[in-house]
Amino acid sequence: MKRRDFIKKALATGVVATVAPSLAASAFPSVAASVGKGKKSSIGNEKMKLTFWRADAALAHPFTVSGYTRTHTPIVLTKIEYGGYEGYGEAAMPPYLGETSESAMAFLSRIQPILDKYPSPFLLEDILFEVDNLPTFHTAAKASIDIALHDLVGKLIGQPWYNIWGYDRMKAPDTSFTIGIDTPEVVREKTKEAAPYNLIKVKLGTPQDEELVGAIRSVEPNKPLCVDANQGWKDKHHALEMIHWCKEHGFIFIEQPIGKYNLDDMAWITQNSPLPTIADESCQRLIDVPKLKGVFSGINIKLMKCTGMREANKMVSLARTLNMKVMIGCMTETSCAISAASHVACACDWADLDGNVLIAHSSDPYDGMKVVDGKVIPSDRPGIGIVKRTDL
Ligand code: MG
């Protein structure tokens, strides 16, 4: 029996996934015997092996936000090998969140001893619980381990994660294209570039709001818009005024109108808002979700905020249980982390997964999810569905 077939058969019986090799050998002699037959298998005999490296990526266009400009973004890539398969992960660290390539590398240097304690990557719940309990805030570095383990497990099983989770990839939501604050000419050009997308995201909160939206509407009179205020609107009355203005101009939801800790005023805004309100800065992790019920209409999940696919999927379930809307966003990330997020996106209302488009193609080592008819569709390859590009 080939190694791959063995794994599939063993998984079907629930053996490899949950039982240490020695226990499997005694409790499940038929499966244990099959390990020794045919092609020599290393499953159960080898350790997971982690490697990681800096891969700071050039941006497609310099990116200006809050008065500073970036040409590169710090990224650390990970790989976990096991059973002849390789799982890939990524930590993307925009400077304003506090993690750096150095801090991620230091964090990742503590992970191999944890992996060594476990017989296989199928125990990812236990492994990631332990990784998350390391006393640091390094959510992006943690996500890079989470994504690599998910990629690895999916490859060992031979299935993409949307199948493992039971999601329909053809129900993937519209993903937005972001247009920044710029001159009307540039905004009109960007709006033309956004033609393949069904949803345009804008940043508002400057005196040019009317001009910006007017320039978009001169090219796309009817395309739905959404706004990310990034906590920028000064108080609840101003925010509600802005939301009514947005409603009149064809916006469909509002992200993070006011300061992330101001939940009382935010609840008032949501109660009176004609549009759904979405928490981004106010919602980092699973523990935040129940606190936001009644405060926002929904949450924006990002793998780099919440430590990866495992917790992101739990956040989706919890938000759905609480009858909240769900969107999935990203940092500036390569096709690795964006592809990982695309599996979660299948269960979301909206996606904002343009991080890989912001990276210069020559700096993106992977090929994975695709935007088809404005929707972000994960690849049907096993794991997170990426392949290494050969033209680099
Ligand atoms: Mg946001």
| 256 Cα–ligand 1 center, Å | 7
What percent of the chain stands above pLDDT 90?
Answer: 75
- Taking 60 as the threshold, does the pLDDT of residue 78 lie above it? yes
If you average pLDDT over residues 166-171, what whole number do you get?
A: 96
Q: What is the pLDDT of residues 264-319, one digit of tens each?
A: 999 999 999 999 999 999 999 999 999 999 999 999 999 999 999 999 999 999 99
| 131 Cα–ligand 1 center, Å | 26
Report pLDDT for 203: 85
Report pLDDT for 136: 79
- Write down the H helix ranges in 280-352: 303-306, 309-321, 335-345
If you average pLDDT over residues 327-331, what whole number do you get?
A: 97
| 229 Cα–ligand 1 center, Å | 7
| 114 Cα–ligand 1 center, Å | 33
pLDDT band at 66 (very low <50, low <70, confident <90, very high): low
| 281 Cα–ligand 1 center, Å | 7
Instruction: Confirm if 304 and 341 have CB atoms less than 8 A apart.
Output: no
| 180 Cα–ligand 1 center, Å | 13
| 241 Cα–ligand 1 center, Å | 20
Spatial CB neighbours of 58, under 8 Å, sequence gap ≥ 6: 71, 72, 359, 360, 362, 363
Q: Which of 23-27, 163-167, 335-339 has the lowest mean pLDDT?
A: 23-27
| 341 Cα–ligand 1 center, Å | 16
DSSP letter assigned to residue 360: -
Taking the C-alpha atoms of residue 276 and residue 326, their distance in angstroms, rounded to an integer, is 11
pLDDT band at 17 (very low <50, low <70, confident <90, very high): very low
| 3-class DSSP state of 257 | coil
Taking the C-alpha atoms of residue 124 and residue 111, their distance in angstroms, rounded to an integer, is 13
- Taking 80 as the threshold, does the pLDDT of residue 221 lie above it? yes
| 202 Cα–ligand 1 center, Å | 10
**137/165: higher pLDDT:** 165
| 37 Cα–ligand 1 center, Å | 54
pLDDT band at 40 (very low <50, low <70, confident <90, very high): very low
| 334 Cα–ligand 1 center, Å | 18
| 364 Cα–ligand 1 center, Å | 23
Q: Is 285 exposed, middle or buried (0-12, 13-18, 19+ CB in 10 A)?
A: middle
| 107 Cα–ligand 1 center, Å | 26
Q: Which two tokens mark 123?
A: 């125990």
Instruction: Confirm if 177 and 148 have CB atoms less than 8 A apart.
Output: no
| 2 Cα–ligand 1 center, Å | 47
| 365 Cα–ligand 1 center, Å | 26
| 277 Cα–ligand 1 center, Å | 12
pLDDT band at 5 (very low <50, low <70, confident <90, very high): low
Q: What is the pLDDT of residues 94-153, one digit of tens each?
A: 887 889 999 999 999 999 999 999 999 999 999 999 999 997 789 999 999 999 999 999
| 285 Cα–ligand 1 center, Å | 14
| 86 Cα–ligand 1 center, Å | 32
Residue 76: closest CA among 95, 59, 58, 52: 52
If you average pLDDT over residues 210-229, what whole number do you get?
A: 94
| 173 Cα–ligand 1 center, Å | 17
Report pLDDT for 259: 94
- Taking 70 as the threshold, does the pLDDT of residue 30 lie above it? no
Report pLDDT for 70: 79
| 84 Cα–ligand 1 center, Å | 39
pLDDT band at 13 (very low <50, low <70, confident <90, very high): very low
If you average pLDDT over residues 366-387, what whole number do you get?
A: 96
Taking the C-alpha atoms of residue 208 and residue 192, their distance in angstroms, rounded to an integer, is 20
| 227 Cα–ligand 1 center, Å | 9
| 255 Cα–ligand 1 center, Å | 6
- Taking 60 as the threshold, does the pLDDT of residue 21 lie above it? no
Taking the C-alpha atoms of residue 315 and residue 332, their distance in angstroms, rounded to an integer, is 21
| 44 Cα–ligand 1 center, Å | 43
| 21 Cα–ligand 1 center, Å | 45
- Taking 70 as the threshold, does the pLDDT of residue 43 lie above it? no
Report pLDDT for 250: 95
If you average pLDDT over residues 318-342, what whole number do you get?
A: 97
- Taking 80 as the threshold, does the pLDDT of residue 253 lie above it? yes
Q: Which of 58-72, 140-154, 208-222 has the lowest mean pLDDT?
A: 58-72
- Taking 80 as the threshold, does the pLDDT of residue 25 lie above it? no
**31/61: higher pLDDT:** 61
Average pLDDT of the chain to the nearest whole number: 88
